[in-house]
Amino acid sequence: ETTMIAMEPADLNMEDSYSSTYTHCEIHPSMILGICASIIPFPDHNQSPRNTYQSAMGKQAMGIYSSNYQVRMDTMAHVLHYPQKPLCTTRAMEFLHFRELPSGVNCVVAIMIYTGYNQEDSLILNQSAIDRGLFRSSYYRCYNDEEKSSSVGTIGSLTSETFEKPHIDSCRGMKHGEYGKLDEDGLVQPGTRVSGDDILIGKTAPMDASPSGMPSRYTKRDCSTAMKATESGIVDNVMLSTTKEGYRFVKVRIRNVRIPQIGDKFASRHGQKGTIGMTYTQEDMPFTAEGIVPDIIVNPHAIPSRMTIAQLIECLLGKVVVFQGCEGDATPFTDVTVEDISKRLHAMGYQRHGNEAIYQGHTGRPLCARVFIGPTFYQRLKHLVDDKVHSRARGPVAMLTRQPLEGRSRDGGLRMGEMERDCLITHGCANFMRDRFFCNSDQYRIHICQRCGLTAQSNLKKMTYECRTPMCVGQPFQICQIEIPYACKLLFQELMSMCISPRIYTDTRVTRDNSY
């Protein structure tokens, strides 16, 4: 069936020649938007990719995700301490109940350059506002375990795991963490402060009898659950229950307060995301003639090329409704104009475009230019610097390539990629490149025969070397030691397995046998 939808009833005017072709009519033009896009104020004044970005980031914003979060044992959760309903709302928010469970704060935002620490999409935040609780949140993580039963041994006897505090004299394979915070039932008390590698759930499993039948010192093995090495917090809740099979299982929820710091990610409702570049106390922040100090300072370079005009309109409308004590209607495709908002602001004694005189925080002198300042709804996103910061000196390597592992969770190395390599080449750092790409990666030593160029057999303890290639057996040969990346040696061996023999020659003065 062919459908043609009219945006508004005015399109159905019978005098228009094409009005008879419509089959349906929208309740309101804003109903074409989905749930995430419906919370954007004035999306019809934004460049379309910015609305798409906000639709994705709105799902990552901290708020109160569920009204019963205190009794839920979710794997991970972020809860904002003081969320506020936005000053500028859309009609769709009413039906989405966004006011009841909001995910952001109305901040006083100034668009200006101040000390240069808000370059490249970074933000300057008011440290005094942070100390008073601005954007503070709690992070909940849940650890769980279960007493499993399994048949072991040749007879197939049923053995069951047990929640208990493992003891070093009878338990084998104990972890490096701290077991002292466990009670005798193997669980940690609510309210206990825990940190990385602490044991949260103590569990043991019985060991098989030794094959000889002789009694062993160890009768159990440790199956405890430890906390993630990079996390810390307070035990918020411990839940002990049973599964449908009748086995006991336990969930331990850890709570951690996250205070905004340099590197945390924030975003407005218009796809204008950025990380904190610097925080200043209130006395170092700029202020208006009325003594208003901004909570956030955004760089003006974030506006022109991105064309997020809706953020400017939201800020202007927010300034009006703050003084009127009501909510501003920011529903898209309505007849609200910037001129109307400007007139309302001007009637209250403010500059019609939202600009104000600003005084320098350090000196108290007025700045030459007027600054656009007003309330804007900002969201704190779940990408926190504490969950991403990573460094390493030494650490584990991959078994196959002997190169450092990848990733923070595995204590991996920091990758020097192709573009980083190109930068080093342009700077001419030859020794540093060798250090990064070879010495600190997978340096390996092999011995090769200079006659045939293939790998020779070496016994470094006995200091004996020989080349077992048929061409070299019984012939005079010379062995040479070289250093190559282990991945290169691995590639050579894989090529040899496919009957391709790569040869390495080091010195032209040695006579080679080219008969092969």
Specify the CATH number for the domain of residue 126: 2.40.270.10
User: What pLDDT score was predicted for residue 442?
Assistant: 95
Q: Is 121 a catalytic residue?
A: yes
Of 80, 74, 67, 62, whose CA–CA distance to 254 is shortest? Answer: 74
* Same domain, yes or no: 477 and 343: no
Cα 120 to Cα 235: distance, rounded to the nearest angstrom: 39
- Listed in sequence order, the residues at least 6 apart from 323 whose beta carbon sits closer than 8 Å to its beta carbon are 348
Q: Tell me, yes or no, whether 254 and 266 share the same domain.
A: no
Tell whether 275 and 355 lie within a shared domain. yes
Spatial separation of the C-alpha atoms in residues 94 and 312, rounded to whole Å: 23
d(CA 130, CA 279): 9
Whether 151 and 253 share a structural domain: yes
Helix (H, G, I), strand (E, B) or coil at 176: coil
337 dihedral zone (left: phi>0; alpha: psi -120 to 50; beta):
beta
Tokens found for residue 93: 């928010």
CA distance 43 to 331: 8
> What are the CA-CA distances from residue 150 to residues 161, 174, 206, 223, 247 (Å)?
9, 21, 11, 14, 12
CATH number of the domain bearing residue 494: 3.90.1800.10
Helices (H), 145-302: none
Name 163's bridge partners.
203
**Structural domain boundaries, residue 340:** 43-68+80-136+262-380
Strand stretches in 360-488, DSSP E: 366-380, 443-449, 457-459, 464-466, 479-485
- Residue 272 within a domain: yes
What is the C-alpha to C-alpha distance for residues 321 and 481, in angstroms, rounded to an integer? Answer: 79
Same structural domain, 157 and 242: yes
How are beta strands 105-111 and 296-298 bridged, if at all?
parallel
Q: Is 127 helix (H, G, I), strand (E, B) or coil?
A: helix
One domain for residues 54 and 196: no
Cβ burial, residue 103 (10 Å; 0-12/13-18/19+): buried
Q: Would residue 490 count as lying in a domain?
A: yes
Give residue 92's Cα distance to chain centre.
Answer: 30
Q: Which of 375, 388, 380, 376 is nearest to 80 (CA)?
A: 380
**Rounded to 5 degrees, what are φ and ψ at 385?**
-65, -30
What amino acid is encoded at 55 in this protein?
S
421 and 480 both lie in a single domain: no
Q: Is residue 447 part of a domain?
A: yes
Q: Which of 440, 455, 489 is the last residue of a domain?
A: 440
Question: Are both 57 and 84 inside the same structural domain?
Answer: yes
The residue type of 475 is: Q
Residue 74 covered by a domain? no
Among the listed residues 11, 44, 121, 411, the single catalytic one is 121
Q: Is residue 385 a part of any domain in this protein?
A: no
> Across-strand partners of 201?
187, 225
Is 351 domain-assigned?
Answer: yes
Q: Are 159 and 223 in contact (CB under 8 A)?
A: no
- pLDDT tens sequence for the chain (516 residues): 789 999 988 888 877 777 788 889 999 999 999 999 999 999 999 999 999 999 999 999 999 999 999 999 999 999 999 999 999 999 999 999 999 999 999 999 999 999 999 999 999 999 999 999 999 999 999 999 999 887 655 455 566 889 999 998 888 989 999 999 999 999 999 999 999 889 999 999 998 766 666 567 788 899 999 999 999 999 999 999 999 988 999 999 999 999 999 999 999 999 999 999 999 999 999 999 999 999 999 999 999 999 999 999 999 999 999 999 999 999 999 999 999 999 999 999 999 999 999 999 999 999 999 999 999 999 999 999 999 999 999 999 999 999 999 999 999 999 999 999 999 999 999 999 999 999 999 999 999 998 889 999 999 999 999 999 888 888 887 899 999 999 999 999 999 999 999 999 887 655 555 655
Burial class of residue 221 in the structure, from the number of CB atoms within 10 Å of its CB (0-12 exposed, 13-18 middle, 19+ buried): middle
Write the CA distances from 417 to 406, 424, 444, integer angstroms. Answer: 13, 11, 21
Within this chain, do residues 296 and 249 fall inside the same structural domain, yes or no? Answer: no
Task: Please check whether residues 26 and 88 belong to one and the same domain.
Answer: no
**395 lies in some domain:** no
pTM of the entire predicted model: 0.89
**Position 396 in a domain:** no
In the three-class reduction of DSSP (H, G, I as helix; E, B as strand; rest coil), residue 436 is classed as helix
41: nearest Cα among 303, 360, 377: 377
Q: Are residues 243 and 301 in the same domain?
A: no
Distance CA 91, CA 27 (A): 12
Tally the C-alpha atoms within 13 A of residue 88's C-alpha that lie toward its C-beta: 31
Q: What are phi and psi of 396, to 5 degrees?
A: -70, 155
Q: Which of 258, 273, 301 corresponds to the end of one domain?
A: 258
Q: Where are the beta strands (DSSP E) in 92-176?
A: 105-111, 122-126, 137-146, 149-152, 157-160, 162-163, 171-172
Q: Which two tokens stand for residue 78?
A: 């972020």
CATH number at 154 reads: 2.40.50.150
Domains: count for the chain = 5
Query: Do 238 and 317 fall into the same domain?
Result: no
